Structure 1
Amino acid sequence: MSIELIAFSKALIVVPITLLPILNPIAIAPIFLSMTGPLEQAVATRLAKRIAINCFFLLMGALFIGSHVLDFFGISLPIVRVAGGIVVAMAGWRLLNDNGQDKLHSSVEASANTWSKVELRQHSFYPFSFPLTVGPGTIAASITIGTELPTKPIDWLLTGFASALGVLLTTVSIYLCYRYARNLERFLGTVGATVLMRLSAFILLCIGIEIGWTGLSALIEELKLH
């Protein structure tokens, strides 16, 4: 096996292996269902597709230009982790303590099924694509992968193409998990889906705290060095 093929395969595998455990779309799927309510299946499918497309461009942007954007604004990765961890933790806390699910479902049922294509794109980005699916931890991980791309043009093109395919595989996984989330709900039943949703919300809260603490720890280490 040639060196180029090994590098291509490694880049292709590294992206999904690194990002999927952080994204964890299987655990987020019950939260997606809870936030969308009783959508018609056709609308839910379009929404899942739109979220996957949004996530693809978010991950691609973080992978290839994320480090340059941070450098331009003078923002460090620890700061991104702290700020993003707060956002994710707040989302998990709201879902964990939300007792108005029926009201939310009724509101979504009354409006979401009649969303136009433009409205669907608008609502699919926040909070579904960001920060619920692609959160700060995922963005930070994507930026880190991007900083490790080779600088030699030919190697960069080869590895970059493989990484882009890895992002595509990752977003296809997101689409499948959201697309068939309702099947999981039917399998679990009402009580099981509610328990899984609350558990997922708690995990989301913990992930947010973990992301924030990782960033805060890095900032504390930087202070010690100074």
Structure 2
Amino acid sequence: MGAADLLQSLALVPLTLLPIMNPLSGAPVFSMTVGGDPVASRQLARQVAINCWLVLVGSMLVGTYVLELFGISLPIVRIGGGLLVAASGWRMLNRSDDDEVQAAVKRNQTVAWTHADVVRRSFFPLTFPLTTGPGTIAAATAIGAGWPRQLQMYVAGAMVAVLGATLTVGVVFLVYRHAGVLMAKLGEVGSLVMIRLMAFMLLCIGIQIIWTGWAELNGITSP
């Protein structure tokens, strides 16, 4: 594998995964979760980035083998994950003032976050399914499945992919770290509009993922 191939493989990971992950769509939810606490924002953004890195690298390294072990195909993963994404979008659209995220925001105004709080709130829904959803996992698994099986080539491909995953989650960290600034510029009304819009888009993305998985199972060309 030459230098040009290595660079191409390195660029492939963020170019493939970032459009699917789309951290901008999760910025409103992230901002609501941390409230106006800059310390919590930095801690949570870092933990979400770590979680995303683990999901991406794990999917690339062992995703194919795990699916084969349990006899699960990628289309089934898409359908199951799409249901989770659609359900998350539906909950966001129908959220009341007493839901978990709003309660967390109110607590953040007076209570400092502990490390346990950061870890607990960083995975669902921020890491999964908002950032590294089923589409991302399926794409990362597909990247890993395309590596050569010769040991030296496999190790080289894995190292490059891990570096690419690091660059990808670096972008996620920067977006989430400054999510509060973005929402502040939008204002209260703009933030509410963006949150509802992203919730609707998340619902549509979930339905699209379900359709893609179902179409793959039935040999139908996805629109």
- TM-score normalised to structure 1 length: 0.90
How far has the Cα of 1:97 moved from its partner?
Answer: 2.0
Match of 2:11 among 13, 24, 31: 13
Helix, strand or coil for the counterpart of 2:72?
A: coil
How far has the Cα of 1:192 moved from its partner?
Answer: 1.1
> Is the Cα–Cα contact under 8 Å of residues 31 and 201 in structure 1 kept in the other structure?
no
- Unmatched segments (≥5 aa) in structure 2: none
The one-letter amino acid of 1:212's match is I
> Is the Cα–Cα contact under 8 Å of residues 59 and 167 in structure 1 kept in the other structure?
yes
Match of 1:117? 115
> Is the Cα–Cα contact under 8 Å of residues 31 and 200 in structure 1 kept in the other structure?
no
Helix, strand or coil for the counterpart of 2:155?
A: helix
The verdict on how the C-alpha distance between 1:202 and 1:155 changes in structure 2, with shifts beyond 3 A counting, is same
The root-mean-square deviation of aligned C-alpha atoms, in Å, is 1.9
Helix, strand or coil for the counterpart of 1:114?
A: coil
> Is the Cα–Cα contact under 8 Å of residues 35 and 108 in structure 2 kept in the other structure?
no
How far has the Cα of 1:154 moved from its partner?
Answer: 1.9
Match of 2:73? 76
Match of 1:141 among 139, 142, 155: 139
Counterparts of 1:10-159 in structure 2 under 5 Å? 10-34=8-32, 36=33, 38-100=35-97, 104-110=101-107, 113-159=111-157
How far has the Cα of 1:119 moved from its partner?
Answer: 2.9
Q: For each residue in 1:20-46, what CA deviation from the matched residue of structure 2 results, as whole angstroms up to 9, or x when unmatched? A: 000000122112223x05241101110
Match of 1:187 among 152, 161, 185: 185
How far has the Cα of 1:202 moved from its partner?
Answer: 1.1
How far has the Cα of 1:114 moved from its partner?
Answer: 3.1
CA distance in 1, matches of 2:184, 2:108: 23
> Is the Cα–Cα contact under 8 Å of residues 19 and 170 in structure 1 kept in the other structure?
yes
- TM-score normalised to structure 2 length: 0.92
Q: For each residue in 1:171-202, what CA deviation from the matched residue of structure 2 results, as whole angstroms up to 9, or x when unmatched? A: 01111111000000111111111111111111
Match of 1:197 among 186, 195, 198: 195
How far has the Cα of 1:108 moved from its partner?
Answer: 3.3
CA distance in 2, matches of 1:175, 1:21: 15
How far has the Cα of 1:203 moved from its partner?
Answer: 1.1
Q: For each residue in 1:32-78, what CA deviation from the matched residue of structure 2 results, as whole angstroms up to 9, or x when unmatched? A: 223x0524110111011000000000000001100000000111101
Match of 2:169? 171
> Is the Cα–Cα contact under 8 Å of residues 7 and 159 in structure 1 kept in the other structure?
no
Match of 1:4 among 2, 5, 9: 2
Helix, strand or coil for the counterpart of 1:108?
A: helix
- Unmatched segments (≥5 aa) in structure 1: none
Structure 1 runs (4+) greater than 4 angstroms displaced = 101-104
